[in-house]
């Protein structure tokens, strides 16, 4: 039987919980920090984890970044509003607010603002891909805090994240994916076609996007493998480094 690894807090990692990084929908948004202990003298590169859960579940309360923090990275797990609370683009607004907050607080936390990487799976994969391709696209920034700082990231690891919602219109094979995507945008994908385009990471691909590592099982029954292929093709066609 396959078992998920158990991530215990290593002795050389400090866990700082529930740090407020911004607001969304009139309430505070929080993140958890895991960082090396003792703290290094040199500024640390940053790794941000964005959880999955079909945009309707999941939590930032998880230890997935512990191994990276133990290797010297400043890591954060961020909260974002789920689809039951707010429809898109609230989710990417919250993620971008977190990236801006990191830059706004770089001196306080001794971090490198030009070395921010993001990773996530499923819905989190979608959001990290969108962070990677949308850069400083104004319509996706939101007003969640730390305005005036960039939300660009320098590396993306996307694990089986959706990248082109329009591909599943009319399909019956991926009904669960279709259902949660419609909940994300607040209507059918046909009715909300402009918002669907806005939510697609491939919409924003440009040659200056950061390098991507895309991981996806060919027999995935939840998110079509073709979703990752679509993103890979769009990136490489624009000259972006992707594997």
* pLDDT tens string 102-123: 999 999 999 999 999 999 999 9
- Alpha-carbon gap, residue 145 to 95, rounded angstroms: 11
Rounded CA-CA distance 101/150 in Å is: 9
Task: State the helix-helix crossing angle for 123-134 and 90-104, rounded to 10 degrees.
Answer: 60
Residue 34 falls inside a structural domain: yes
Exposed / middle / buried, residue 41 (Cβ in 10 Å: 0-12, 13-18, 19+): exposed
Residue 72 lies in a domain: yes
Which residues does the chain have with pLDDT short of 70?
1-6, 170-172
Beta bridge partners of 159: 121, 215
C-alpha atoms less than 13 angstroms from C-alpha of 63 in its C-beta half-sphere: 13
CA distance 52 to 123: 5
User: Hey, what are 126's tokens?
Assistant: 């979608």
Please state the pTM of the whole predicted model: 0.93
**Residue 187 located in a structural domain:** yes
Residue 168, pLDDT score? 77
Q: 74-78 and 27-36 as β-strands: parallel, antiparallel, unpaired?
A: antiparallel
Contact 95, 68 (CB under 8 A): no
Q: How far apart (Å, rounded) are the C-alpha atoms in residues 139 and 28?
A: 21
> Residue 123, CB half-sphere, CA atoms under 13 Å: how many?
26
Domain that includes residue 117, residue range: 13-237
pLDDT at 5: 58
In a domain, 1, yes or no: no
Give me the pLDDT at residue 170, please.
66
Domain count, the chain: 1
> How far apart (Å, rounded) are the C-alpha atoms in residues 33 and 240?
30
CA distance 14 to 117: 20
Q: Judge whether 3 lies within some domain.
A: no
How confident is the model at residue 22, as a pLDDT?
A: 97
Q: Is residue 163 part of a domain?
A: yes
Q: Report residue 74: phi and psi, to 5°.
A: -90, 115
Fill in the DSSP letter of residue 222. S
**Do 115 and 45 meet the contact criterion of CB atoms below 8 Å apart?**
yes
CATH of the domain at 50: 3.40.50.1820
Domain contains 158: yes
φ/ψ of residue 168, rounded to 5 = -95, 5
Domain assignment of residue 150, yes or no: yes
């Amino acid at each position: 039987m396959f078992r998920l690894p158990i991530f215990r807090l290593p002795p050389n990692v400090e866990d700082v919980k529930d740090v407020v990084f911004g607001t969304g929908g009139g309430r505070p948004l929080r993140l958890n920090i895991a960082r090396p202990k003792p703290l290094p003298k040199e500024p640390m590169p940053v790794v941000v984890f964005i959880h999955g859960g079909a945009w309707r579940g999941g939590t930032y309360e998880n230890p997935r970044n512990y191994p990276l923090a133990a290797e010297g990275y400043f890591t954060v797990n961020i909260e974002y509003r789920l689809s039951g609370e707010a429809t898109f683009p609230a989710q990417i607004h919250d993620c971008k607010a977190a990236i801006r907050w990191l830059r706004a607080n770089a001196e306080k936390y001794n971090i490198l603002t030009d070395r921010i990487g993001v990773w996530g799976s499923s819905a989190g994969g979608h959001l990290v891909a969108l962070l990677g391709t949308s850069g400083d696209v104004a319509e996706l920034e939101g007003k969640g805090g730390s305005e005036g700082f960039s939300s660009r990231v320098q590396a993306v690891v996307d694990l089986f994240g959706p990248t082109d919602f329009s591909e599943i219109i009319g399909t019956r094979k991926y009904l669960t994916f279709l259902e949660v995507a419609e909940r994300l945008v607040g209507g059918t994908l046909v009715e909300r076609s402009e918002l669907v385009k806005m939510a697609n990471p491939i919409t924003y691909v440009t040659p200056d996007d950061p390098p991507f590592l895309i991981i996806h099982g060919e027999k995935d029954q939840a998110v079509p493998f073709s979703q990752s292929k679509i993103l890979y093709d769009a990136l490489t066609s624009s000259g972006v480094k992707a594997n």
